[in-house]
Amino acid sequence: MSDTVIKVEGISKKFRIGSAEKAAYKTLRDNITEAFSYPFRKTSELFFRHKPSVAKDIWALKNVSFDVSSGEVIGIIGRNGAGKSTLLKILSRITEPTGGFAEIRGRVGSLLEVGTGFHPELTGRENIYLSGAILGMGRDEIKRNFDEIVSFAEVEKFVDTPVKRFSSGMYLRLAFSVAAHLNPEILIVDEVLAVGDTRFQEKCLNKMDDVGRKGRTVLFVSHSMPNITRLCKRAILLENGTVAANGASHSIVNLYLNNGRDTAASREWTDMSKAPGTDIVRLRGIRIILENGCVMDTVDISQTFGVEMEYEVLKPGYMLMPYYHFYNETNIAAFDVHDTDKAWRRRPRPAGLYKSTAWVHGNLLSEGRMFISAGLTRVDAAQTQFHEKYAVTVQIVENLENDSPARGDWSGEMGGVVRPLLRWSTQYGDTHDSPQS
Amino acid sequence: MISASKSADSGPEALKPAGSRIIRIEPSKGWVSLKIGELWEYRELLYFLTWRDLKVRYKQTLLGVLWAIIQPFFTMVVFSLFFGRLAKMPSDGIPYPIFTFSALVPWTFFTNGLAQASNSLVGSANLVTKVYFPRLAIPVASVLVGAVDFVLAFAILLCMMLYYGIVPTINIIWLPLLLALVIVTSLGVSLWLSALNVQFRDVKYVIPFLTQFWLFATPIAYPSSLLHQPWRTLYGLNPMVGVVEGFRWALLGAKTAPGVMVLVSALTALLILASGALYFRRMEKNFADII
């Protein structure tokens, strides 16, 4: 399992912008005028010390190195222009690196686009063969998988219709289906998953998961962090063409997502004129607190903590409802909570200072960072008074030395946004009253 | 503690780590090899690309594959009227219509191949930028597609020979070599033009000119016997001269064997092909970036 199948050593790629950008391709005339003017420019440089107007070089990738072991599923993330696509293009041998080298052991299949090689005039059946051949499948291989491809795409009735008459959904489904049945040892995928409706997307993801579990090596570029953490154990973060981080996917994703987001455990607004709110109510502060009232940014998984909101009601007589939204590091909404304190529900509040705290009991959330949005709305008029997105964050940690009850005797990775402690029961022997055939 | 990782229950399909070859990706230096072997490895893709172009070619046309015949046939009619009847062009003692048609058949193959192939790379930009395969497959497929049209036009030529009562001589055994010559010529020029077209879209405008001039520089409407030696042999530097005269000699039994002239043509054609392939290979690595 540990032998290296992809070895990337100091890969760099230079692009020229400037003059090359103005005209995507040069005409012969450009070259000829350049050739004619070259001697003049050269002489003027000599006499007047003009700086020649050189095209600017851009390094799309700079000294990128990493290894991938056989059977690993690796996610590559980064902002637009970070060099993700260029890296995949180099590894797929579509374009050459300017420097460095990469070694790949095994048959590579790359999916940089859905529907590569599809021709609109050809029928679904013909396109399956054509696209299959272009992606690197042999004719026998396609023949063997043909029925499965068609049924996976759910286009059985239309195999002999030209794909130009397909709906765009059908087209994408068929295109993905062909690609999904590619069976290389190393698969390079660029964000082709987001096709079709939600149900089909789910099907695609499961298929990808399958591929990973069959021991194939997968390199996967995506902007969807849940998909990255779901499919990949390891991730590489690219920033401006260099490897910014390389490690366990959830921590890399965490790093990427926290970029540009506040990660404070408390926020205070001292200047009331700038505080969020309306002339009815103003927010004063939001804090993560322990039961003893201390503000804390890190909480043990089995510890209870509170999210406290301090606000001042300026105009009396309104029914107000504080609420919190909990998101995990991959931006998945864990849950929303609304104030259910019986003493103050549906009751017009007098003016004054309030503190509303929601207590999150231990053994509820999974480990990782939680981003909490806080808001307050009027109940009688459904009018949001303020809503602070990702106002505070809390890091749920798990210490295996301490008791981590929901884990049982398992020491590996655990999925999910929540990790509740459920009641388990076991029956032993004498189970013939259970329904069996 | 018990720890069974999720991947432990993977299916029976195991990866064979040994035996697979290693691909090394690095910047290529200097002149690259032709990698003909790789093209052979991808022969199935070549087949499918050719098959696609064939399938798509006459889709949604009224006359369909008839176009393969209409084009050379009507050119022949026009040439026979103007050059044969009105200008009384000599035709080496062969009836003028078949004299010119036997030249138009390989010529049409040549120009159609040229027109299709030179645009083929740019037309397949979505493939070139998204998937790896030997780029040579694209123009090669475009040239090969013309073979079907050629066969149809050739059948018409045989019918005309029957009509005029012309029996082919024993020289017909040279026909496969002449066919190879026209393919080599067409492919060589196509490789140059298709690779140039990626960088310089001027090629698109050059092609109509080029084929027009080349048509008159080739003895299609007139016999090469109008020229005297040594000019006639030098004329063979245009590889299509060798092809056309060779066709007439092999099929229609034109008196003079074009021996040396065809040899000169063959050499030129091979030179064009070799240089075209090298140029193509050299430019290939940048195709995806500049197309």
Q: Are A71 and B199 in contact (CB < 8 Å)?
A: no
In a domain, A279, yes or no: yes
Same structural domain, A212 and A98? yes
Phi, psi of B103 (to 5 degrees): -85, -35
CA dist list (Å): A19 to A15, A24, A30: 12, 9, 11
- Say if residues A255 and A245 touch (Cβ distance below 8 Å): yes
Same structural domain, A31 and A96? no
In a domain, A3, yes or no: no
Looking at A258, A276, A291, the residue that finishes a domain is: A258
Looking at A258, A280, A315, the residue that finishes a domain is: A258
- Say if residues B42 and B134 touch (Cβ distance below 8 Å): yes
Q: Are B131 and A112 in contact (CB < 8 Å)?
A: yes
State yes or no: pLDDT of A235 exceeds 70.
yes
In a domain, A208, yes or no: yes
- Say if residues A289 and A306 touch (Cβ distance below 8 Å): yes
Overall domain count for chain A: 3
3-state secondary structure A90-117: HHCCCCCCCEEEEEEECCEEEECCCCCC
Question: Residue B114, Cβ neighbours under 10 Å: how many?
Answer: 26
Packing angle of the helix pair A124-135, A168-180 (nearest 10 deg)? 40
- Say if residues A202 and A196 touch (Cβ distance below 8 Å): no
CATH of the domain at A241: 3.40.50.300
Phi, psi of A220 (to 5 degrees): -135, 115
Nearest to residue B15, comparing CAs of A218, A119, A252, A169? Answer: A218
Give me chain B's average pLDDT, please: 84
Looking at A237, A258, A279, the residue that finishes a domain is: A258
Mean pLDDT, to the nearest integer, of B240-261?
83
- Selected residues 53-112 of chain A with any CB under 8 Å from a CB in chain B: 70-71, 89-108, 110, 112
Residues of A with CB below 8 A from B126's CB? Answer: 113, 116-117
Residue with tokens 């374009």: A95
Q: Is B43 on the interface with A (CB under 8 A)?
A: no
State yes or no: pLDDT of A321 exceeds 60.
yes
Amino acid letter, residue A202: E
- Selected residues 245-264 of chain A with any CB under 8 Å from a CB in chain B: none
Q: Are A94 and B288 in contact (CB < 8 Å)?
A: yes
Mean pLDDT, to the nearest integer, of B161-182?
88
Q: Give the bridge partners for B46, in sequence order.
A: none
Lowest mean pLDDT among A61-65, A228-232, B44-48, B210-214: A228-232
In a domain, A435, yes or no: no
Same structural domain, A239 and A325? no
Mean pLDDT, to the nearest integer, of A347-359?
93
Q: Are B55 and A135 in contact (CB < 8 Å)?
A: no
Confidence class for position B195, pLDDT limits 50, 70, 90: very high
Residues 6+ apart with CB under 8 A from B36: none
pLDDT for position B7: 37
Residues of A with CB below 8 A from B22's CB? Answer: 103-105
State yes or no: pLDDT of A278 exceeds 70.
yes
pLDDT for position A400: 63
Same structural domain, A247 and A278? no
In a domain, A36, yes or no: yes
Six-digit token string for A275: 């505080």
3-state class (DSSP) for residue A389:
strand
Q: Are B201 and A27 in contact (CB < 8 Å)?
A: yes
- Pairing state between β A4-17 and A108-111: unpaired
CA atoms of B121 and B136, how far apart (whole Å): 9
Same structural domain, A197 and A213? yes
Same structural domain, A251 and A277? no
Q: Could you tell me the residue range of the domain that residue A294 belongs to?
A: 266-397
pLDDT for position B192: 94
Same structural domain, A104 and A227? yes
In a domain, A430, yes or no: no
Compute, in degrees rounded to 10, the torsion defined by CA atoms A287, A290, A291, A294.
-80
Q: What percent of chain A has pLDDT over 90?
A: 25
State yes or no: pLDDT of B14 exceeds 60.
no
- The more confidently predicted of residues A99 and A28 is A99
Same structural domain, A69 and A51? no
pLDDT for position A9: 92
Mean pLDDT, to the nearest integer, of A81-96?
88
Q: Is A409 on the interface with B (CB under 8 A)?
A: yes
Residues of B with CB below 8 A from A29's CB? Answer: 202
Same structural domain, A17 and A86? no
State yes or no: pLDDT of B17 exceeds 50.
no
Mean pLDDT, to the nearest integer, of A141-166?
89
Same structural domain, A179 and A276? no
Residues B97-130 pLDDT 10s: 999 999 999 999 999 999 999 999 988 888 888 8
State yes or no: pLDDT of B254 exceeds 50.
yes
CA atoms of A91 and A11, how far apart (whole Å): 10
Q: Are B128 and A93 in contact (CB < 8 Å)?
A: no
CA atoms of B280 and B120, how far apart (whole Å): 13
- Say if residues A91 and B35 touch (Cβ distance below 8 Å): no
Mean pLDDT, to the nearest integer, of A165-186?
84
Residues of B with CB below 8 A from A5's CB? Answer: 17
State yes or no: pLDDT of A57 exceeds 60.
yes
For residue A31, the number of C-alpha atoms closer than 13 Å in the C-beta half-sphere is 9
- In chain A, the residue whose alpha carbon lies closest to the alpha carbon of B19 is A106
Residues 6+ apart with CB under 8 A from A348: A316, A317, A318, A319
- The more confidently predicted of residues A287 and B3 is A287
In a domain, A414, yes or no: no
Same structural domain, A110 and A232? yes
Lowest mean pLDDT among A50-59, B182-191, B229-238: A50-59
Mean pLDDT, to the nearest integer, of A118-138?
88
CA atoms of A90 and A101, how far apart (whole Å): 10
- The more confidently predicted of residues A244 and A195 is A244
Compute, in degrees rounded to 10, the torsion defined by CA atoms A155, A156, A160, A164.
-10
Residues of B with CB below 8 A from A100's CB? Answer: 26
Mean pLDDT, to the nearest integer, of A270-294?
89
Confidence class for position A432, pLDDT limits 50, 70, 90: low
Q: Element (H or E) spanning B283, and its range?
A: helix B259-290
Residue B230: asked if its preceding bond is cis (omega within 30°), the reply is yes
In a domain, A343, yes or no: yes
Give me chain A's average pLDDT, please: 83
Residues B272-282 pLDDT 10s: 999 999 899 88
Q: How many CB pairs under 8 A join A and B?
A: 144
- Rg of chain B over all Cα atoms, to the nearest angstrom: 24
CATH of the domain at A383: 2.70.50.60
pLDDT for position A47: 59
* B105: alpha, beta or left? (left if phi > 0; alpha if psi -120 to 50): alpha
Same structural domain, A109 and A16? no
